[in-house]
Amino acid sequence: MTPIPAPHRSRPVPADRPRRARGRRTALLRAVHELLSRRDDVELEFVRHRRRGYVHVAVPRDPDTRQEVTDWDDLSAEEQFEGVLGIIRRPVPTLCGRTQRVFLDGVTGDHELVDVFDDVDLCPSCRRALGEHAPRAFEHPTTSSEDVW
């Protein structure tokens, strides 16, 4: 029987290279935890993947911070085009690290914003990312509770 070779990288990674993606994700999750600890009134948004059925938790926006707005005339033609696409199809980052594309009409595409879903459909990675604030992800109406009433 031939032994299965261990997985390896095609190029060695220098030991002193910073782990950027992990650092950004850790900083993002730390900011989300701080926001949810500081503000009880922040509502979580949920995005469902239509074909797979998973429901992801969108990264909440801090209502205390102001977003910088760039004047339309200061943008290049490419940035203006991307801005129009962003209005039609906005990227929604989720706590598990994915970015879902949600169209404004709510019908087009694979993702939709939802308020009502079953608890079993919640993405386990998003739930784990919430940590001590995970119970807040279950403070929503469920499809089974609609049938009962």
Q: Give residue-wise pLDDT tens across range 78-95.
A: 777 766 666 667 778 899
| Domain assignment of residue 6, yes or no | no
Residues of the chain with pLDDT under 50: 2-9, 147-149
| Domain assignment of residue 14, yes or no | no
Cβ pair 91, 56 in contact under 8 A: no
Regarding pTM above 0.85, the answer is no
Tell the residue number behind the tokens 């993702």, with chain if given.
Answer: 111
| Domain assignment of residue 36, yes or no | no
| Domain assignment of residue 123, yes or no | yes
Question: What's the start-to-end Cα distance of the chain, in Å?
Answer: 61
**According to the model, what pLDDT value does residue 15 have?**
61
Count of domains observed in the chain: 1
**According to the model, what pLDDT value does residue 56 have?**
93
CA angle 117, 109, 85 (to 5 degrees): 120
**According to the model, what pLDDT value does residue 109 have?**
75
| Domain assignment of residue 112, yes or no | yes
Note down the domain range covering 110. Answer: 41-62+78-148
| Domain assignment of residue 117, yes or no | yes
| Domain assignment of residue 47, yes or no | yes
